[in-house]
Amino acid sequence: MTLNKQIGFYMRKLLLLYIILAVSLMPMAAQAKSKKPHKHVAVSSSSKHIKHASLKSRPSLNVTKTRVNVRMPTQKSGAVYADAYDGSGQLLLASSKALVINQLTGETIFAKNTNQSTPIASVTKLMTAMVMLDAHLPMDDMLVIADQDVDYLKGTHSRLAVGTSLTRGEFLQLALMSSENRAASALAHNYPGGINAFIVAMNRKANLLSMKSTRFFDATGLDSNNVSTAEDLARMVDAAYHYPEIRQVTTTASQSISLYGRRDQLNFLNSNALVRGGDWVIGLSKTGFINEAGRCLVMQAEISGQPVIIVLLDSVGKLTRIADANRIRKWIEHNDAKSLGQNVSG
Q: In what order do the strands lie in the sheet with 108-112?
A: 108-112, 97-102, 306-315, 294-303, 281-290
At residue 38, φ and ψ (nearest 5 deg) are: -100, 150
In angstroms, the CA 226 to CA 209 distance is 16
Instruction: Give yes or no: 125 in active site.
Output: yes
Look at residue 141 and give its three-state secondary structure.
coil
In 10 A of CB 179, how many CB atoms? 25
Q: Which of 95, 158, 178, 179 is catalytic?
A: 179
59: phi > 0 → left, psi -120 to 50 → alpha, else beta; which? alpha
- Cβ pair 129, 142 in contact under 8 A: no
Which one of 125, 178, 205, 286 is the catalytic residue? Answer: 125
Q: Among candidates 98, 95, 105, which has minimal Cα distance to 238?
A: 105
Tell me whether residue 246 is exposed, middle or buried, using C-beta atoms within 10 angstroms of its C-beta: 0 to 12, 13 to 18, 19 or more.
buried
Q: Is 179 a catalytic residue?
A: yes
Q: What Cα–Cα distance (Å) separates residue 257 from each residue in 264, 269, 324?
A: 9, 11, 32
Amino acid occupying residue 83? D
Question: Catalytic: which of 57, 122, 224, 271?
Answer: 122
Q: Show which residues are catalytic.
A: 122, 125, 179
